[in-house]
Amino acid sequence: MASAKNRNLTKVLIGIGGGIAAYKVCEVISSLFKAGLQVRVILTRSAQEFITPLTVATLSRHQAYTDDDFWQAINGRPLHIELGEWADVVVLAPLTANTLGKLTYGLADNLLTNTVLASTSPVLLAPAMNTDMWEQVAVQRNWQQLLQDRRYHSVGPGAGLLACDRIGAGRMAEPPEIIASVQSLLHTQGKRDLAGKRVLISAGGTREHLDPVRFIGNPSTGKMGLALAQAAINRGAIVTLIHSIPAGLSSDFPAIANGREERGSMKAITVVSAEEMRQAMLLNFPLSDLIVMSAAVADVKPGIYSNEKLAKRSLPSTLPLEPVPDILAELGNLKHPHQTLIGFAAQTGDIVTPALEKLQRKKLDFIVANPIDQPDSGFGSDRNKAIVIDNKERQFEIEPCSKLQMAHYIFDIVQNGTLVL
């Protein structure tokens, strides 16, 4: 059995530009440090009008660098060379129109732009500016031109209320988006092995209603499905997410809500019941290359339904149940040779034996067996672990990790037939 281990890519260099959104970067720095990553920060001269070097130095537990340090040497080497080679991933947030223009044309007149040009690592761009500035022809030309360089990746911008009281595009991506994109880049190092592929993902737990307020359900939050969607988007896929995820949770993933991220694209369809999920999956299935059924779909539904809330005294003493269609088995029967179908098996106790049976019976290409009776795994947890089994019965063990990391391991296995360590 192959086993996945955490990658040893931990060094993130953050370049902060001059914009009010700079305050959001403090949360990014703090969160990345708490996650065990090494963080270094460069502030442009304009950025220091919004936050101080002392603030980011405190959050990153390391000296913050400014243009005043440009000629400082580290280990006898120029600072911009040392920082550029040190970084596994570079983040520019907020990316201003000024810095965007410089990078587009390969100009370097400060510590930040010199460091970016001295590095070969992936660069994550998080632009932020007034809507009229963002929509200028010159800015959009620079943006599209820079993204033609495969080294550069984007997160946002989103739309909403801006600091200038304008409502429109140009709002910097929220910290959870930026953090997830950084973690993805640390894993993939910028590869887009799902570019152009259509990935269909189901997520969340379905609800089978007895009346408008009562239902049969399960504890699934859809976090694993959201992580799979995020990872697929970061790897360049065109994603369709069929989900029954509570609004409060999906709002923590603005990339999902906004519908677009990086070079891939995103369409989200909200459903409630198993039948609604079935119809949406069948509609989107024919054009999909990779299908990941991570949703916890109900097995049964109430045999009766009332359009009005039942009074407590009217509730049946015994509830008749009816089976619901087996979506995954139906997709297995419809699958074409060019399609890859992945199922999930949430289990207690022995997770492998029932997963193998499910893999074969439902004609799957892969199945992800994960325990729901162990700490830090399963429903509602931010972490997970699993054994992935392919249709040749090869087993790949994914040790405890974040659900986003696990999503990337799953795609590594599917794309390469092995774990990318």
Residue reference for tokens 């799953």 = 410
Amino acid 156: pLDDT = 84
326: annotated binding-site residue?
A: yes
102: annotated binding-site residue?
A: no
Domain chopping of the chain, boundaries: 8-188, 198-416
- Of the candidates 395, 411, 373, 353, which has an alpha carbon nearest to the alpha carbon of residue 228? 411
Tokens at 129, concatenated:
């500016």
Q: Do the first three CATH levels of 8-188 and 198-416 match, i.e. the same topology?
A: yes
Amino acid 58: pLDDT = 96
Amino acid 6: pLDDT = 47
Please state, in angstroms and rounded to a whole number, the distance separating the CA atoms of residues 344 and 367: 5
Tokens at 287, concatenated:
């054009």
Please state, in angstroms and rounded to a whole number, the distance separating the CA atoms of residues 418 and 410: 9
pLDDT in tens, the chain (421 residues): 655 544 567 999 999 999 999 999 999 999 999 999 999 999 999 999 999 999 999 999 999 999 999 988 888 899 999 999 999 999 999 999 999 999 999 999 999 999 999 999 999 999 999 888 899 999 999 999 999 999 999 988 887 777 777 787 888 999 998 999 999 999 999 888 998 899 999 998 889 888 888 888 888 888 999 999 989 998 989 999 999 876 655 555 554 544 444 344 788 888 999 999 999 999 999 999 999 999 989 889 888 888 988 888 888 888 889 899 999 999 999 999 999 999 999 888 888 999 999 999 999 999 999 988 887 777 878 888 899 999 999 999 999 999 999 999 999 999 886 655 4
Tokens at 249, concatenated:
């949770």
328: annotated binding-site residue?
A: yes
Q: Does domain 198-416 have CATH number 3.40.50.10300?
A: yes
Amino acid 263: pLDDT = 42
pTM here is 0.87
Hey, which CATH number is domain 8-188, 3.20.20.10, 3.30.420.40, 3.40.50.1950, 3.90.228.20? 3.40.50.1950
Q: How many CB atoms lie within 10 A of CB 417?
A: 11
5: annotated binding-site residue?
A: no
Catalytic residue numbers read: 164
